[in-house]
Amino acid sequence: MTVRYTLDAQGVATLSLTQPVALHDVMQVLEQAVNDESVQGILLLASTGDFVTDEVKFAASNNAASNNTAANNAALGKAAVLFAKTEERHRSLRKLENCGKPLAIALSLGAAGLSLELAMVAHHRVAADIAVAEFCMSEIGSGRMPGLGGTQRLPRLIGIQNALSMLLENKKLHAAEALALNLVDALVPAGAEANEARLWLLSKLVQASIVQQPWDRKGYKIPGGAVASPAMQQLFMLSNAMLRAKNRASEKAAVNTLSSVYEGLITDIDTGLKTEARYFVNAVI
């Protein structure tokens, strides 16, 4: 395993990622910290913008519409496996969000794609204030859609309009922009992010504060307006028209991303994650 793990006298478990690490390995260590009664808080240190990689590879099948029964059955079997794996990841991350242990992440060089999806699971995100740090959802630029909760957590954090710009247009945010949109909670000079994140964790432990994600708090509302609001309904119509105008209506990843945001945000976060899982599998298989 390539994740460095330490547990200090205050009960803070620190996971250090100095290079891109397989997502499976990171989630395995996070699960260990969640289940360890001596762990009171979790600190994730990420020194690269892409600090996790997806080790699960599922090649897209072009046989879904064929008359070959064997090929169709193979595609359906592949879809079932991928859907189960995706749902398993969602459940693990929701357990992490709701286990009662505060999770803070220190981001030295921003976060992109899968790494940003994982970072949004943290209860507190601290970023280094440097020009090269960027925050983006890079999946669409590679012909893929988010599958680790990105279509559900991002708009719930920064609002639907801002999220769609990142999800569909691969818009990149600098650290100050990420702070202004509440994608990160604190911005500090380079080199101070780990200490700042740790101080936040210790303050929560001293106060025995209950940590919750915004979307799990009573009375939560999506920033900038819910899906049903007239402004957001118009935004979705314009976004759909934009995909068609740019000849992207045939891009399954882009269309499914938009549909996942629309349908998922009408519901609670757990139902929304199931919606994302279905669209993610459909985009791959």
Which of 8, 279, 42 lies closest to 146 in space, CA to CA? 279
The number of domains in the chain is 1
pLDDT in tens, 222-257: 999 999 999 999 999 999 999 988 877 678 999 999
Domain residues for the domain of 189 are 4-284
pLDDT surpassing 50 at residue 65: no
Of the candidate ranges 34-38, 48-52, 59-63, 269-273, the one whose mean pLDDT is the lowest:
59-63
Q: Do the bridges between strand 110-112 and strand 52-53 make them parallel or antiparallel, or are there none, so unpaired?
A: unpaired
- Which band of pLDDT confidence, cut at 50, 70 and 90, is reported for residue 63? very low
pLDDT on residue 75? 67
> How big is the chain, counted in residues?
285
Give the separation between CA 244 and CA 240, rounded to whole angstroms.
Answer: 7
CATH number of the domain to which 72 belongs? 3.90.226.10
CB atoms under 10 Å from CB of 218, counted, come to: 5
Residue 178 · residue 184 · CB < 8 Å? yes
The residue type found at 87 is E
Question: Model-level pTM?
Answer: 0.92
